[in-house]
Amino acid sequence: MSHAFRWLRSLMFIILAYAGMAVLGLVFAPFALFSRKAARRACKLFCVWARWLARVLVGIRSEVRGTVPTGEVIIAAKHQSFLDILLIFQAVPHAKFIMKRELLWTPVIGLYAKRIGCIPVDRKKRGKAIAQLVKDVAAEFVDPGQLVIYPQGTRVSPGVRLPYKVGAALLYDGLEEPCYPAATNVGLFWPRKGIMRYPGLAVVEFLDPIAPGMPRAEFMAELEKRVETGSNALMKEAGFDLNELD
């Protein structure tokens, strides 16, 4: 397939994916306003639509591996693109994400993020934000669910190293719940920026949980080791040499 043709198919995918988001968002909005279950249903339908469209138009197959977390747990995941969000949300029963506050003002996404229980964080007020985060999460856990946090705080391209932030450890300490690390290779096929999409098998893998009670520094070291090792293994499985990636 030529580069230009792949670019056009990638652009078509993006247009149709977001058109589907808008349609589902509008259709379900009256129900989502009063029912968290309806909001989750709409989001899961969008996950199905986007994954099917990715496979048909740009050749991205996708799968989830490992034991899918249920109950009140923390999921600390590698974040490479929007696709890992979709895979995690569709896989677990009641996902709710730690998200930057600015996303609350995004059309469709903001409404549904609030309705499914996502917890916004103001990155400009880091100290206060982290303290408030633990309080907000504890209150939100009245409604059981799987809390998803991206410990590096943002999308990270394959091969790029960014430090793991303390927020994941504070939640782990404060909530005293098991933490499931999650690895991924989705950024190889659905990059964090740009239009191009590439064919292949995109995977999110839930790894063995870290039991509550580990000292903070040990927890952070173990979390980073598991997530990075797991993600590197998935990328190697996909045939990519990490030494050649930017």
C-beta of residue 234 within 8 angstroms of C-beta of residue 183: yes
* pLDDT score, position 109: 83
* pLDDT score, position 207: 98
* pLDDT score, position 95: 93
- Beta strand 95-100 with 119-121 is parallel
Among candidate residues 107, 106, 112, the one with its CA nearest the CA of residue 89: 112
Q: Dump pLDDT digits (tens) for 79-119.
A: 999 999 999 999 999 999 988 877 777 778 888 988 898 88
As a whole number of angstroms, the distance between CA 30 and CA 26 comes to 8
Higher pLDDT, 241 or 112: 112
> For 15-24, 64-73, 128-137, 194-203, which range has the lowest pLDDT when averaged over its residues?
128-137
C-beta of residue 43 within 8 angstroms of C-beta of residue 116: yes
List Cα–Cα distances, 93 to 37, 71, 78, 90, 236, in angstroms: 11, 8, 19, 8, 30
The average pLDDT across 147-173 equals 91
Angle at which helix 36-58 crosses helix 82-91, to 10 degrees, equals 130
Extents of the domains making up the chain: 61-244
As a whole number of angstroms, the distance between CA 174 and CA 191 comes to 33
* pLDDT score, position 246: 45
The average pLDDT across 215-236 equals 96
Please check whether the domain covering 61-244 is classified as CATH 3.40.50.300.
no
